[in-house]
Amino acid sequence: MENYRANIMLCGGTGCTAGGSLKIREAMQQGIRDKGLEGEINIQLTTCSGFCPQGPIMIVYPDNVLYQKVSLKDVPLIIEEHLIKGRPVERLLYKEPAKKQGIPSIKDIPFFNRQVLRALRNKGLIDPDSIDEYIARDGYQAAAKALLEMTPEEIIKVVKDSGLRGRGGAGMLTGLKWERAASVKAPEKFIICNRSIIEVEPHLIIEGMIIGARAIGASQGYIYVRTGAPIIIERLNRALQQAREYGLIGENILDSGFDFELELFASSDEFVCGEETALLMSIQSMRGMPMPRPPFPVEKGLWDMPTVINTVETFANIPQIILNGAEWFRSVGTEKSPGTKIFNLSGALNNTGLIEVPMGITLRSIINDIGGGLIKGRTFKAVQVGGSTGGYIPEQYLDMPVTYEDVTHMDAIIGSGGIAVLSDLNCMVSSARFTIEFAVDESCGKCPPCRIGTSVILDLLNKVVNGTATEEDIYLMEDLALDIKNTSLCGLGQTAMNPVLSTIRFFKDEYLEHINEKWCKAGVCKELCTFYIDKEKCIGCGACARVCPKKAISGEKKKPHHIDQSLCIQCRSCYETCKFNALKIGPRSMREELTDNEAAAYIKGAIKEVVQQ
């Protein structure tokens, strides 16, 4: 490979591609050619850099300069200023929310420098479509070591000693799972990678699976992907073909005598198929529904053969454990939850995206350091940990370390690795309702607790949101939710109640406000709030009137404005627009009061007019 003076890495993740990174690459290539710099500057796409909301992301090496929100019209400037004259384009640098000064070096941006990259160590650094670049970063070295220098028992031992726990939901020791599958005698065994949804480089998954297959003695593997992720499917297919051409899958891999076939299995976007037994049904061309366990898949899985199912992230950790050893893996994280964890950070934060952090980091550090704190004007209310079926954790527990054990105590889960931050603009009851609605839609219908229970809970939550619930309904919900949690067949029903249980536990006052005062203080539940303008604070700028879709706000310039309650649809646009804190949210009862007062004022005015005449 040529030695270039600059390598430009353009993020080719799903988000940045949607933002136009392919067109930007074309324009850059053209611009570089026009200036006669082809031999000096290399431009290529990389795996997702994780900084998706700021995309398209462009990183220029060796300067380590990160450009955000790059558009086609910025291309000539980047070439002229940075690539020719060596001056970073200040306007495109990442800026910390509170500061105006751009941060030129990627190493100084807190979002990046607080992360510990292991599974994502090549993110933004290599071309996901190039097997050679993967090999250049120690790729397939671990597979070579595992196949040529280690016995299956030795592989299992090092994975077990590392303490790596399944990065999916339950957090079972990966080594233990492999050991059980390896101990069963069977004519054929399978290894499956569950849901390639994380945009890690495809070869990392393939390598992890080869090692796993060798450990348990599997001859066939499947990578289970959702059809809703076309870029990932395309990349995986290309990677599989490259690996096959290099003889890294197929017969006699690396002359070791070990044979392993690996295929992609694309399924529809059924949430329940994240559950391992439902996933197995789906691969066997049956409806994706979970089965009671035992027998566990490690004993009787795909086509009744021993089958190991691990997630993408679990496999992505394997190659480095093999190369660096169990002790190295344990050097980060906690005693019982060693290593790192990938999270999808979202919500009311300044920085969101895909992050990898050491286990045991506190939620506060994730939110404030990596997330850059809450966006201006918002205050923290809760953080949902574990994706759509994770529990909501309030402020007082933010110093809790993120480990499998601690998170479970909070009715939350590590799960799919979602962390969503909720602000004062979110209503806890309707947030819980939203996730339950999702569970109702996604419940496969096999077991009654989940099928019927989730619907009943949804009805009860609807009552709270509509203002027709009583305090007793809270206790009914809590009881029922616990029953559903304890008796559901699979993880879907067992975890679906986390949002309800955790909101009742930590935000009961909000439920009570909804029920007793008919007041949703966040202004989300339309039935339970009244928007009004504080006459003392309103300066009459008219910003709220301009955004009101119903033209319900009126008033003279520089005089306090007024909302016509008969027209207001509680869309909250005015509340989010006002910069002077003049918009207020009152309980439902205020609506009638205000309307009455308005009527009185109107009558008063009319009488006055008549008298004057």
Partner 1 sequence: MPRLTVDDLKRIKEQHKAAFTVREGGARVKITVHMGTCGIAAGARRIMETLLGEINKQGLSDIIVTTSGCAGLCSKEPMATVDVTNESPVKYGQLDEAKILRILNEHVIGGKVVEEYVLVSGNETTI
Window 104-123: residues binding partner 1 (CB under 8 A): none
Taking contact as CB under 8 A, which single stretch among the options 2-10, 16-24, 173-181, 362-370 is the one that binds partner 1?
Answer: 2-10
- Is 140 a residue that touches partner 1 (CB under 8 A)? yes
- Is 6 a residue that touches partner 1 (CB under 8 A)? yes
Closest CA to 48 of 239, 200, 167: 200
- Mask for 56-95, x = binds partner 1 (CB under 8 A): -----xxxx------------------xxxxx--------
Taking contact as CB under 8 A, which single stretch among the options 136-144, 280-288, 337-345, 378-386 is the one that binds partner 1?
Answer: 136-144
CB nearer to partner 1: pick between 124 and 333: 124
CB nearer to partner 1: pick between 131 and 529: 131
- Is 320 a residue that touches partner 1 (CB under 8 A)? no
Among 29, 68, 141, 346, binds partner 1 (CB under 8 A): 141
Closest contact distance (angstroms) between CB of 131 and partner 1 is 9
User: Across 445-561, where does the E strand assignment appear?
Assistant: 530-533, 553-554
- Is 296 a residue that touches partner 1 (CB under 8 A)? no
CB nearer to partner 1: pick between 77 and 148: 148
Q: Return d(Cα 487, Cα 375) in angstroms, integer.
A: 40
Closest contact distance (angstroms) between CB of 247 and partner 1 is 3
Closest contact distance (angstroms) between CB of 9 and partner 1 is 7
CB nearer to partner 1: pick between 42 and 307: 42
Taking contact as CB under 8 A, which single stretch among the options 20-28, 243-251, 342-350, 398-406 is the one that binds partner 1?
Answer: 243-251
Q: Return d(Cα 379, Cα 401) in angstroms, integer.
A: 22
Closest contact distance (angstroms) between CB of 329 and partner 1 is 22
Q: Return d(Cα 427, Cα 597) in angstroms, integer.
A: 29
Taking contact as CB under 8 A, which single stretch among the options 37-45, 212-220, 430-438, 567-575 is the one that binds partner 1?
Answer: 37-45
CB nearer to partner 1: pick between 255 and 534: 255
Window 527-556: residues binding partner 1 (CB under 8 A): none
- Is 161 a residue that touches partner 1 (CB under 8 A)? no
Among 26, 34, 132, 479, binds partner 1 (CB under 8 A): 132
Residue 510 has phi, psi (to 5 degrees) of -70, -40
**Inter-CA distances, 29 with 44, 45, 293, 297, 545, Å:** 9, 12, 55, 50, 47
Among 117, 135, 170, 266, binds partner 1 (CB under 8 A): 135
Residues with Cβ < 8 Å from 222, sequence gap 6 or more? Answer: 190, 191, 192, 193, 262, 263, 264, 265, 283
Among 14, 22, 23, 40, binds partner 1 (CB under 8 A): 40
Among 245, 269, 534, 592, binds partner 1 (CB under 8 A): 245
- Is 42 a residue that touches partner 1 (CB under 8 A)? yes
Closest contact distance (angstroms) between CB of 264 and partner 1 is 20
Closest contact distance (angstroms) between CB of 251 and partner 1 is 10
Amino acid at the residue 440: V
- Is 23 a residue that touches partner 1 (CB under 8 A)? no
- Is 144 a residue that touches partner 1 (CB under 8 A)? yes
- Is 153 a residue that touches partner 1 (CB under 8 A)? no
Q: Return d(Cα 420, Cα 288) in angstroms, integer.
A: 28
Q: Are strands 562-563 and 553-554 parallel, antiparallel or unpaired?
A: antiparallel
CB nearer to partner 1: pick between 109 and 533: 109
Window 452-491: residues binding partner 1 (CB under 8 A): none
- Please, how many CA atoms are within 13 Å of residue 512, restricted to the half-sphere of its CB? 5
- Length of the chain in terms of residues written: 613
Q: Return d(Cα 498, Cα 529) in angstroms, integer.
A: 27
CB nearer to partner 1: pick between 125 and 198: 125
**DSSP one-letter string for 83-104:** IIT----GGGBEE-TT--SEE-
- Is 9 a residue that touches partner 1 (CB under 8 A)? yes
Residues with Cβ < 8 Å from 335, sequence gap 6 or more? Answer: 163
Contact 224, 194 (CB under 8 A): yes
CB nearer to partner 1: pick between 122 and 435: 122
Closest contact distance (angstroms) between CB of 196 and partner 1 is 24
CB nearer to partner 1: pick between 62 and 549: 62
Residue labelled with tokens 């997630």: 311
Residue labelled with tokens 């499956």: 192
Closest contact distance (angstroms) between CB of 59 and partner 1 is 9
Instruction: Give the end-to-end CA distance of the chain in Å, rounded to a whole number.
Output: 93
CA dihedral 28, 33, 35, 40 (to 10 degrees): 90
Residue labelled with tokens 């009862």: 589
Contact 504, 477 (CB under 8 A): yes
Q: Return d(Cα 471, Cα 29) in angstroms, integer.
A: 65
Among 7, 14, 455, 487, binds partner 1 (CB under 8 A): 7
Q: Return d(Cα 275, Cα 290) in angstroms, integer.
A: 7
- Is 377 a residue that touches partner 1 (CB under 8 A)? no
Contact 498, 407 (CB under 8 A): no
Q: Count of residues binding partner 1 (CB under 8 A)?
A: 38
Contact 230, 177 (CB under 8 A): no
CB nearer to partner 1: pick between 39 and 292: 39
- Is 612 a residue that touches partner 1 (CB under 8 A)? no
**Inter-CA distances, 31 with 6, 25, 34, 43, 391, Å:** 15, 10, 5, 11, 50
At 468, list the tokens.
């027709």
Taking contact as CB under 8 A, which single stretch among the options 68-76, 127-135, 201-209, 518-526 is the one that binds partner 1?
Answer: 127-135
Q: Return d(Cα 400, Cα 342) in angstroms, integer.
A: 17
Q: Return d(Cα 189, Cα 222) in angstroms, integer.
A: 12
Respond yes or no on whether the N-terminal peptide bond of residue 295 is cis (omega within 30° of 0): yes
Closest contact distance (angstroms) between CB of 250 and partner 1 is 9
Q: What single DSSP character describes residue 474?
A: H
CB nearer to partner 1: pick between 28 and 367: 28
Among 18, 26, 30, 39, binds partner 1 (CB under 8 A): 39
- Is 246 a residue that touches partner 1 (CB under 8 A)? yes
- Please, how many CA atoms are within 13 Å of residue 381, restricted to the half-sphere of its CB? 19
- Is 583 a residue that touches partner 1 (CB under 8 A)? no
What are the residues binding partner 1 (CB under 8 A)? Answer: 1-7, 9, 39-40, 42, 61-64, 83-87, 125, 132-133, 135-141, 144, 148, 245-248, 254-255
